[in-house]
Amino acid sequence: MEKNVEEKNTEKISFISKSEQFIENNQKLIIGVISAILVVVLAIFGINKFVSQPRQQKANEAIFAAEQYFAQGNFNAALYGDSTSNDKYSVGLLQVIDKYGSTKAGKRAKYEAGICYLRLGQYADALKYLDKYNGKDQLTPVFNEMMKGDAEVEQGNTAAAIKHYEKAATMDDNPISAPFALFKAGVCYMMSDNNAKAVECFKKVKSDYPESSLFAEMDGFIAYAEAK
């Protein structure tokens, strides 16, 4: 027993000695690797603190006035800014996108620009900016997809619209967006004379989303689609 312990201790001492020898023989290499890692870590820290954070702050300041116009429904001013304003930050969403597109504010500006163009009836531009948006929250990506469908419908592209609506309906199974996406898909199917698919959409709203505000209207739409 004592011999086994002694052998283990000898092996441990031998291992430690070899480790120390390796460190001693490769000291310059190890120091170089550690220094390189420190440089990378400090660079990332520096970029975040001295570049990313100030840039985010500037983007938030730049978008402030545009979002005020957006909230008021003044979509032209939201997009292009107000040239009559003395506020140096009174720029439009398009300028924010151009200068700060990679920031959180810049990404939000793409979504809001898409909505502005949609409300102004400029559907190709609406699609252009809605396609650029890549939100990570729960609901805006769903509404973004639905608005792509709206823009396609307005341009007479019902088949493309249906794809957007059906995708939106599966992106987040909630009682707010999902039934509306299905309903819009159903209406598009009726516009395309595919009444059987329209009935499927309306019946799914009725069966799966009884808490939706659309629930009470579905019987009428089902009856109308079946009678066509």
DSSP 110-178: HHHHHHHHHHTT-HHHHHHHHHH----SSSHHHHHHHHHHHHHHHTT-HHHHHHHHHHHHHH---TTHH
Which of 47 and 33 is assigned the larger pLDDT?
33
Q: Residue 144's pLDDT band (boundaries 50, 70, 90)?
A: very high
Report, in angstroms and rounded to the nearest whole number, the Rg of the chain calculated over CA atoms: 30
Residues 6+ apart with CB under 8 A from 41: none
Domain 135-228: give its CATH code.
Answer: 1.25.40.10
Lowest mean pLDDT of 78-92, 155-169, 208-222, name the range: 78-92
pTM check: above 0.85: no
Span 54-104, pLDDT tens digits = 668 888 888 899 999 999 999 999 999 987 655 555 789 999 999 998 889
Q: Where in the chain is the domain with CATH 1.25.40.10?
A: 135-228
Mean pLDDT of all residues in 108-131: 96
Q: Residue 17's pLDDT band (boundaries 50, 70, 90)?
A: low
pLDDT of res. 195: 95
For the chain, the distance separating the N- and C-terminal CA atoms, rounded to the nearest angstrom, is 93
User: Residues for the chain: how many in total?
Assistant: 228
Supply 43's token pair.
């660079």
pLDDT of res. 7: 45
| AA identity, residue 168 | A
Residues 6+ apart with CB under 8 A from 56: 103, 104, 105
Tell me if 200 sits within 8 A of 174, measured CB to CB.
no
Give the CA distances from residue 73 to residues 17, 105, 169, 218, in Å, rounded to whole numbers and listed in that order: 75, 19, 27, 31
